[in-house]
Chains A and B, each alone.
Chain A
């Protein structure tokens, strides 16, 4: 009676064990994967290793320089060695994670017939126009002509000349080391015309530590696809002044040529407005000595804010806005002058604020008050105003005054106010800045996505990231091979794609799903189901161990 009962109980126990194991198996093999799959956030794969590789990117900026030797510029045996190519490398020391190297690829060759003819002309202007006719130079490249030591093209005391296009002229020398000496001069000229440390440092000012490039250094406008330029005439006293300005003519005559020269950098749109009863935020002080009013340099930062609320944001586009204000002071406060730190009046009566724009104060000629009654009619002299605004525009874009090597003649820009190599400098700077921005954006995006596992990464975000990475790499390659124009375009694409990925709204969808809420939902189901399974597993485990130990004891 007892034996079959025990056997039956044993059978029951075994069946129970099997059932428990089966439950555990179903829960683990079926339940867990199902749960995992259904609650997973979709995360498209991203090129994390490539992005971290971008941080250690070495930028090699290649400046192709063609050095053309005319007859009698260097000794004959040196001329025999032509043509050949020399590459000079120079590291630009910046406290930035990206290592930036500058390569001057100097291709030496002899002058062609028409070049000889052009350089034997009487004046530099004629020679330049003739040379410009024969060839078109790519962005970023330079041509340096080495002329005879006794040529009359340059004044006697000048050693070199830098033109408004991408050409320069260097005086040759009859010497045993002629090629070295000339090569050194060429580098000096090419440095002045292409990449200088200052240009790159200004471009990277956002990414560099504060100590070196503190706020007193100029900060150029951030790189963008386009810019809006707004000229505003502020007339705080329309009862006394009836101010007219021919802004349409002035924009067409002075601003548009400059902007069309700059058109490679971005799209520009220009508009103007007249604001009445717009006053500066600071009360001018009276100076009894000259019976005029003045704004001290330290009070200038407070001038802009109250005016800015009236300027009106640009509703139609997302491009950064550059404001140029022409302020005609009210009758009670005129004439009004800006004083610099030493108390002397500023010659232009204007100041600019980096990344914002410029303000010029335009005093009404006091003699007009005698002639007629109020309001007096004021015609603004646009030449005077536009000179100042264009100079400020150059500064805002980070086009510095060129630093000339010693004994060098600089012709100055043509009528549009910008030399082509200054534009190249701007393109170099903007490309490097764009690359730095894109790299930073991609790195922070990768960090963010790595840190927060709740963020959904959609396929289009991933493809933007991929194209941004590819564009950065392409831009770096193009820079290294000296194709400035395509490098700039690629760098712009990199910035656009990376920002689009970074600011994609789909990243935020599931961001706020904290862990405690997740557990609050899971626990009511999972805890009662998991506890019996775990307990039976532990029990089965203990029993099996006991039954393994038992046979040993019998032995």
Chain B
């Protein structure tokens, strides 16, 4: 369906190009958008948007660039900084795996940025610094605070997600800013990158005041090169914009487990985005089918989609926006998850920190025995910082970036191999090596550490105290050296003597 659409749209320019005398075929681009609504075991509802723009163009070589669906701001970045992959996420809240089950896409609280540069880049650190500054401008975020003190080069995790010739870790940079507060000002530039803005299609639902009234909000941008065709003779660029939110069932549903698009987003879908070649809504109805509950999805789905996702067999009700009209109401259903630990070989990579230059990096590849708890603990000392290094609110504490757990989990059910291009977007972000396992990446919560905080008026107090001591010593020394001492006859009278006599008389002692 998607491919046919694509071909129709681009047939005409192709012909025109031939008439014009063999002019180069214009780069083709396509947009797919998707919303997955998953009722979570806890009764909350997760909604994951994915917008994927694929552009059949080699950005690195062209001098004059012409953009259609691909946003110009990001395209320029790719060509200027010779990026191979860029992954940026802004997250508010924490994905509670225990209650919500495994996520499609988790991201650590705050901002996370990891970038693979092309191996033609000579000064990776400079490009990384400039890139983070430009990105902070584009997304209105404090990514400009990324410097060598919070940047690491992981060696085992964070392999390229797209096409890659070599994986020399020298070209990878990774940084997390746990302090970053995500707000509407980050969402607005993110929405502007969408071809249909927020005027049509699924992006209509992206209303800031509802998206931020959620227990978890994570928006991300993933750029990577992908194969243009099955034989992978040339590359295309893929931009994925993802947004996951988890709605608190009790807030959205007033204590009931019912939900609807309107109740969650305060909008309904009215029209498809005319630029999208595919626009679908998937609703997870797995347990609805199994348990024969008396709840219903409204309107009744035209098709269902069954597949193995995150290790379990899932059933999704599919609504194709390019086909049907409007989705108004559907109901919540229960869902259960199970998982097992994957067998892996051990590997430990430790890169010690250098004060004010680089942070600690500890990577471990471990095989977890079944039904066991593994505890990794790290001892650290609290140190005093230089007084200019304290933040304006030092008593808030200092963040330690969350740990990352990347795992290849064996699947409960074997997934049937499908064409990667054809499969829904929520399935195709992480490359699948074989169908018997699936990939998850989990993040722990960031750690807030209270460092000893000095009294910041202390330097001045020290100055005053030291100066007073010095001045007192100096004064007595000076007096000793310059004064002449001689015995003086006590003078008669005077106020002091009169006062002393007054007191003596009161005590009954003879006066002086």
Contacts and interface: CB of A to CB of B under 8 A. Distances in A.
B420 interface: no
B470 interface: yes
Contacts of A270: 64
A313 B429 CA distance: 29
B20 to A, nearest CB: 7
A15 B12 CA distance: 109
Contacts of B197: 276-278, 310
Contacts of B24: 248
B502 interface: no
Contacts of A520: 460
B65 interface: yes
A528 B474 contact: yes
Nearest to A517: B460
Contacts of B468: 524, 528
Given A277-B197, A528-B471, A251 B484 contact: no
B7 interface: no
Contact of A525 (B73, B80, B460, B467): B467
- Which bucket holds chain A's interface residue count? 35 or more
Contact of B479 (A271, A525, A532): A532
Given A314-B76, A528-B475, A277 B481 contact: no
B392 to A, nearest CB: 15
A417 interface: no
Contacts of A521: 460, 463
Contacts of A278: 197
B72 interface: yes
A247 interface: yes
A349 interface: no
A532 B480 CA distance: 12
B479 A248 contact: no
Among B76, B137, B485, which residue has the most Cβ atoms of chain A within 10 A?
A: B76
Given A521-B460, A524-B463, A525-B471, A248 B26 contact: yes
Given A9-B486, A313-B137, A23 B76 contact: no
Contacts, number: 120
Nearest to B195: A276
Contacts of A312: 71-73, 192
B167 to A, nearest CB: 27
Among A9, A19, A246, A276, which residue has the most Cβ atoms of chain B within 10 A?
A: A276
B285 to A, nearest CB: 31
A238 B482 CA distance: 96
Nearest to A20: B482
Interface in A228-257: 230, 238-239, 244, 246-249, 251
Interface of B: 12-13, 16, 20, 23-24, 26, 63-69, 71-73, 76-77, 79-80, 134, 137-138, 192, 195-197, 199-200, 271, 274-275, 460, 463-464, 467-468, 470-472, 474-475, 478-479, 481-486
26 contacts: A12-B485, A12-B486, A16-B481, A19-B482, A238-B196, A244-B13, A251-B64, A271-B65, A271-B72, A273-B71, A276-B199, A277-B200, A278-B197, A309-B192, A310-B192, A312-B192, A313-B137, A315-B134, A316-B79, A317-B80, A377-B12, A521-B460, A525-B467, A525-B470, A528-B475, A529-B474
Q: Which 5 A-B pairs have the closest CB atoms?
A: A528-B471, A524-B467, A277-B199, A525-B467, A12-B484
Given A249-B23, A271-B72, A312-B192, 17 more contacts: A9-B486, A16-B484, A20-B482, A23-B482, A244-B13, A246-B16, A248-B24, A248-B26, A270-B64, A271-B67, A273-B68, A274-B68, A276-B275, A316-B134, A525-B470, A529-B471, A532-B479
